[in-house]
Amino acid sequence: MNKTIISLLAILLLVSCKNNNNISKRISVAEIGNVVLYYDEMPRLIQRGINEADSTAIIQNYINKWAKRELLLQKAEENLSPQLKIEIARQLEETRANLVIYQYQRQMMLEKMDTVISETELENYYAENEKSFILSSNIVKALFIKLPVETPDLDKIRRLARSNEQNDLQQLESYCYQFAEKFDDFNEAWVPMSRLSVELQEDIDNEENFLKRNTFFETSDSVSIFLMSIRDYRLISMPAPFEYVRDDVRRIIWNTRRFEFIQSLENGIFNEALKKNSFKIY
């Protein structure tokens, strides 16, 4: 293609970034057989600040890629066997049917399916299926603190970290905001023990023994002190606490409800067709 024309296209694309008005007459950019690439089909390739030579190269590269793909497509359509063309048509129709069905199911779910899952429903499902929620890793409720080695009042911080009193924990939080490099209070949530092991920067060979023997653990390196206060723990193969699997329970209930809704939708449509005699088996 003439470089002058490509340069003009580059200018048009740059101007179109400032002006979103539709072009009343479509501008042809390239043509292969009966297939035409129009200006309005091209993405916004040119950014402000790009010089004319670079803009021209970007446009030319896009047109070349379009041409190669279109030529390959036309060559493939000319040379594919009739059997393969039939198979492609079948796959396209199947894909279209699946997409239409999916979008209809989704629309019906949004309009008619009950998506509210109460806390009572979550708790009841968990109680009835507790044995299905078995831990695959050790989990803890814990407090983790990382402090510079020169932190003042370290003994007081250690004492506060061991305490379960609310006032002590508030004091600890205040100290940590002043001095700590990291302060994570997991008291209200279960977390995998492996997450804390990474924070400690120390390998724990036997997590089960470690958790059974320690409620408070301290280690250090040349620059930092690491403190961990373990409030509670659950071991591998034990039933997972409800709070830890709450989101999983919600997901299971929702998926079950979704499956039942789609089954009901399909059966309803099927039975309606039988009543209206619009479905026949010969």
**Which phi and psi angles does 234 have, rounded to 5°?**
-135, 140
pTM of the model: 0.71
**pLDDT digit string (tens) for 22-78?**
544 778 888 888 888 887 777 765 555 566 676 778 788 888 998 999 999 999 999
Distances (CA, A) of 234 to 71, 134, 201: 63, 10, 22
The length of the chain is: 282
CATH number (3.10.50, 1.10.1760, 3.30.700, 2.60.40) of 135-234 reads 3.10.50
Q: What is the pLDDT of residues 72-118, one digit of tens each?
A: 999 999 999 999 999 999 999 999 999 999 999 999 999 999 989 99
Quote the Cα angle for 148-153-154, to 5°. 55
* C-beta contacts of 101-107 below 8 A and 24+ residues apart: 105/262, 105/265
CA 14 to CA 236: how far, in whole Å?
61
Each domain of the chain, given as residue ranges in start order, spans 3-79, 119-129+240-275, 135-234
Which is more confident, 30 or 136? Answer: 136
pLDDT digits (tens, 9 = 90+) for 172-229: 988 888 889 999 887 679 999 988 888 887 778 899 999 999 999 999 888 999 999 9
Cα 80 from Cα 275, distance rounded (Å): 45
Neighbours of 142 (CB within 10 A): 26
Residue 185 contacts residue 146 (beta carbons within 8 Å): no
